[in-house]
């Protein structure tokens, strides 16, 4: 029995119209197998030439009226029409995505048989593939994905909250680990490194072995001396015009502040002298500032001279006192070439609290020239730094050697997976941390050029890998776009998971070669996917808004054709990412 379902009545570049045969039952028996035309998402075929056959996917079915004959008084009858989008073609029995030869009107259309479908989806490299789920309407196909093509490309896993993203990530990793454990090959653990940034602390217990959990707020400290200017910009978030130059000088002053060999009293005396001579406005405020600096110098003779510094009028009571004050300052100043010293100073520090001292020195350095507006203009940056110190001085930015070693274990260990719990980091701090970590991995790989690979999964990526048009400074110092463009040749692969793809960096999203797309309802997000994903058509974009939970559209270089797959859970465990059942929470169970 043939699998004939109809014939072509029109052909467009993006769709083909088919008049279905008159039948109330599209059930078939072909070569001992049973088939049923279910409708939307079914695959169908058209024989073009003896060596060319097209694969189509049904996207819509509807009825229209057709005249029974050509006369003006002809009666009409209802016919069933199916629209199908071109998917790919076989040439000499070899299947490829995309169509080069379109079928002609009048050609017969057949339901795709199991042999044809199997030739597309069953990987030739079974040993190096992982079982992922069941293809919708083709449950008899055990769909597998090739490990090499899946994990040697950037990937985006997107979908609204509750659509199944977290489950997909867990199943991908579980499938990979199980496959590696079951393999007869010896695993080189030094070369495998999967790292997952866990934003909601929901991946802490989904595996039994082969992974480690590191809490970013409790278990690790960052080596501050490894932070470069770009890292500090991502952390402090200064404004470009005023605060950025102050931040640059602050880091240099902070480095000098930590240098035990540097004569800080000499610098402070120089600033006091410059303030006294150059600043002529607001004498009372000027005096308060000078007294405050002199107290830091803590020279008894200098402090005694300040007794003659008039509190009310902000000047000395007599010329001799003023002369003695200036001479004492000159004696304390051992070097007048501080401009050169600051320019040549490094911008590396070891203690986060030194940055606060560095900012104060940088502000005084500007105020000594009469710039009285610099401090008010830097209030927001000062507040930001104070908050950072208060929040992280005893954890993320502590000097604890053991915690610094724990940080290095994230990217240098022999566990297959490292889950980094970043749930206690604010979005701005998370963005800094992810940038800093990724930058270190990238620089290490460029330096060592070893065989180690990094597959880094960023959960809720829209929170810190975002299209930030409001801050060109932090955008220009984002490492994500650089890795998206250059990372693959160094063995660094990104997986970004997000419920708001419209907010993701367009550059990063456009560099993804594989897409796993769960349910998405937002028109803005759908439009962004349409622009950044060349692998799917208009029908599949529209289909995303009504996908059931746990089902995803897969498209990209790892998938020969775009397809809809129901992700299969191989082990039923408590899902930490699942939404709570409100009825179970609200009501107590009554004992009977």
pLDDT of residue 71: 78
- pLDDT band, residue 394 (cuts 50/70/90): very high
pLDDT of residue 182: 67
Give the residue, 468 or 203, on which the prediction is more confident: 203
In angstroms, the CA 365 to CA 570 distance is 64
Are residues 421 and 331 both part of a single domain?
Answer: no
pLDDT of residue 554: 93
Facing residues of 96 across strands? Answer: 89
In this structure, is residue 135 part of a structural domain? Answer: no
- Alpha-carbon distances of 489 from 147, 334, 410, 465, 493, rounded to whole Å: 17, 52, 21, 21, 9
Are residues 279 and 363 both part of a single domain?
Answer: yes
- Tell me the per-residue pLDDT of 430-482, one tens digit each, with 9 for 90 and over: 999 999 999 999 998 888 877 889 999 999 999 999 887 666 666 656 899 99
Q: Please say if the pLDDT value at position 1 is more than 70.
A: no
pLDDT of residue 484: 94
Q: If you average pLDDT over residues 80-108, what whole number do you get?
A: 92
In angstroms, the CA 29 to CA 377 distance is 79
In this structure, is residue 583 part of a structural domain? Answer: no
Are residues 383 and 423 both part of a single domain?
Answer: no
Give the residue, 136 or 476, on which the prediction is more confident: 136
Q: Domain of 412: which CATH number?
A: 3.40.50.300
Maximum distance among all alpha carbons in the chain?
122
- Residue 160: name the closest of 425, 497, 566, 536 by CA: 497
Give the residue, 280 or 565, on which the prediction is more confident: 565
Segments of 480-533 assigned E as strands: 492-498, 514-517
Lowest mean pLDDT among 311-320, 554-563, 566-575: 566-575
Q: If you average pLDDT over residues 62-85, what whole number do you get?
A: 86
In this structure, is residue 90 part of a structural domain? Answer: yes
Are residues 256 and 357 both part of a single domain?
Answer: yes
Facing residues of 121 across strands? Answer: none
Are residues 20 and 158 both part of a single domain?
Answer: no
Q: Please say if the pLDDT value at position 429 is more than 60.
A: yes
Are residues 108 and 247 both part of a single domain?
Answer: no
pLDDT of residue 17: 96
Are residues 190 and 246 both part of a single domain?
Answer: no
- Tell me the per-residue pLDDT of 157-192, one tens digit each, with 9 for 90 and over: 999 998 999 989 988 888 887 777 666 666 777 888
Listed in sequence order, the residues at least 6 apart from 320 whose beta carbon sits closer than 8 Å to its beta carbon are none
Query: Which domain covers residue 31, as residue numbers?
Result: 4-121
- pLDDT band, residue 25 (cuts 50/70/90): confident
What is the number of domains present in the chain? 3
- Tell me the per-residue pLDDT of 219-261, one tens digit each, with 9 for 90 and over: 999 999 999 999 999 999 999 888 999 999 999 999 999 999 9
* Mean pLDDT score across all residues of the chain: 88
The answer to whether 475 touches 450, Cβ cutoff 8 Å, is no
- Alpha-carbon distances of 247 from 196, 211, 309, rounded to whole Å: 32, 39, 33
pLDDT of residue 119: 84
Are residues 157 and 300 both part of a single domain?
Answer: no
In this structure, is residue 104 part of a structural domain? Answer: yes
In this structure, is residue 87 part of a structural domain? Answer: yes
What's the DSSP call for residue 209? S
- Tell me the per-residue pLDDT of 570-585, one tens digit each, with 9 for 90 and over: 654 445 555 555 556 4
pLDDT of residue 454: 94
What's the DSSP call for residue 503? G
In this structure, is residue 348 part of a structural domain? Answer: yes
Q: Please say if the pLDDT value at position 419 is more than 80.
A: yes
In this structure, is residue 106 part of a structural domain? Answer: yes
Are residues 523 and 462 both part of a single domain?
Answer: yes
Listed in sequence order, the residues at least 6 apart from 101 whose beta carbon sits closer than 8 Å to its beta carbon are 48, 49, 52, 54, 89
In angstroms, the CA 45 to CA 111 distance is 6
One DSSP character per residue, 459-493 reads TTGGGTSB--TT-HHHHHT-HHHHHHHHGGGGTEE
Sheet with 417-421: list strands edge to edge. Answer: 138-146, 129-135, 563-567, 551-556, 514-517, 155-158, 492-498, 454-458, 194-198, 417-421, 211-215
Question: Strand 43-49 and strand 52-67: pairing?
Answer: antiparallel
Are residues 429 and 565 both part of a single domain?
Answer: yes
Are residues 416 and 540 both part of a single domain?
Answer: yes
Give the residue, 410 or 312, on which the prediction is more confident: 410
Are residues 184 and 299 both part of a single domain?
Answer: no
pLDDT of residue 572: 43
In this structure, is residue 203 part of a structural domain? Answer: yes
The answer to whether 74 touches 67, Cβ cutoff 8 Å, is yes
- pLDDT band, residue 46 (cuts 50/70/90): very high
């Amino acid at each position: 029995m043939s699998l004939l379902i109809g014939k072509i009545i029109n052909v467009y570049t993006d769709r083909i119209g088919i008049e279905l045969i008159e039948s109330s039952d599209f059930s078939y028996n072909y070569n001992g197998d049973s088939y049923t035309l279910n409708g939307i998402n079914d695959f169908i075929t058209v024989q073009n030439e003896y060596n060319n056959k097209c694969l189509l996917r049904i996207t819509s079915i509807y009825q229209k009226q057709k005249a029974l004959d050509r006369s003006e008084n002809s009666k009409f009858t209802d016919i069933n029409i199916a629209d199908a989008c071109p998917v790919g073609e076989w040439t000499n029995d070899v299947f490829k995505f995309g169509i080069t030869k379109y079928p002609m009107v009048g050609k017969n259309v057949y339901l795709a048989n199991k042999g044809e479908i199997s030739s597309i989806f069953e990987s030739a490299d079974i040993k190096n593939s992982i079982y992922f789920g069941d293809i919708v309407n083709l449950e008899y196909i055990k769909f597998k994905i090739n490990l090499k093509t899946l994990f040697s490309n950037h990937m985006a896993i997107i979908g609204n909250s509750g659509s199944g993203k977290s489950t997909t990530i867990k199943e991908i990793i579980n499938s990979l680990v199980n496959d590696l454990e079951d393999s007869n090959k010896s695993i080189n653990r030094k070369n495998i490194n999967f790292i997952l940034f866990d934003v909601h602390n929901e991946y802490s217990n989904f595996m039994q072995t082969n992974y480690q959990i590191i809490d970013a707020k409790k278990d690790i400290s960052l080596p501050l001396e490894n932070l470069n200017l770009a890292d500090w910009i991502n952390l402090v978030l200064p404004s470009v015009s005023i605060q950025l130059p102050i931040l640059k000088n602050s880091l240099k002053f902070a480095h000098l502040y930590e240098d035990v060999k540097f004569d800080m009293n000499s610098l402070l005396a120089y600033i006091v002298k410059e303030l006294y001579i150059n600043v002529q406005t607001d004498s009372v405020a000027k005096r308060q500032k000078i007294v405050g600096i002199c107290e830091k110098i803590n020279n008894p003779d200098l402090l005694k001279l300040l007794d003659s510094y008039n509190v009310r009028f902000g000047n000395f009571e007599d010329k001799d006192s003023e002369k003695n004050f200036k001479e004492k300052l000159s004696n304390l100043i051992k070097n007048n070439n501080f401009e050169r010293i600051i320019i040549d100073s490094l911008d590396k520090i070891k203690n986060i609290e030194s940055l606060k001292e560095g900012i104060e020195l940088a502000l005084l350095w500007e105020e000594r020239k009469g710039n009285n507006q610099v401090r008010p203009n830097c209030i927001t940056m000062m507040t930001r730094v104070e908050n950072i110190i208060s929040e992280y001085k005893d954890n993320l930015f502590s000097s604890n050697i053991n915690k610094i070693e724990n940080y290095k274990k994230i990217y240098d260990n022999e566990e297959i997976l490292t889950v980094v719990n970043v749930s206690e980091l604010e979005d701005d701090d998370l963005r800094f941390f992810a940038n800093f970590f990724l930058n270190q991995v990238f620089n290490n790989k460029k330096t060592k050029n070893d065989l180690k690979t990094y597959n880094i999964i960023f959960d809720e990526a829209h929170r810190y890998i975002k299209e930030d048009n409001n801050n060109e400074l932090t955008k220009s110092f984002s490492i994500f776009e650089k890795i998206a463009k250059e990372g693959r040749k160094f063995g660094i692969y990104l997986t970004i998971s997000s419920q708001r793809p419209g907010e993701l960096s367009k550059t990063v999203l456009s560099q993804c070669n594989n897409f796993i797309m769960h349910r998405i309802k937002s028109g803005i997000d759908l439009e962004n996917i349409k622009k950044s994903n060349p692998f799917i058509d208009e029908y599949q974009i529209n289909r995303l808004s009504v996908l059931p939970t746990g089902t995803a559209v897969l498209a990209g270089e790892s998938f020969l054709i775009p397809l809809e797959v129901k992700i299969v859970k191989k082990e039923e465990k408590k899902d930490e990412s699942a939404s709570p059942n409100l009825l179970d929470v609200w009501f107590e169970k009554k004992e009977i």
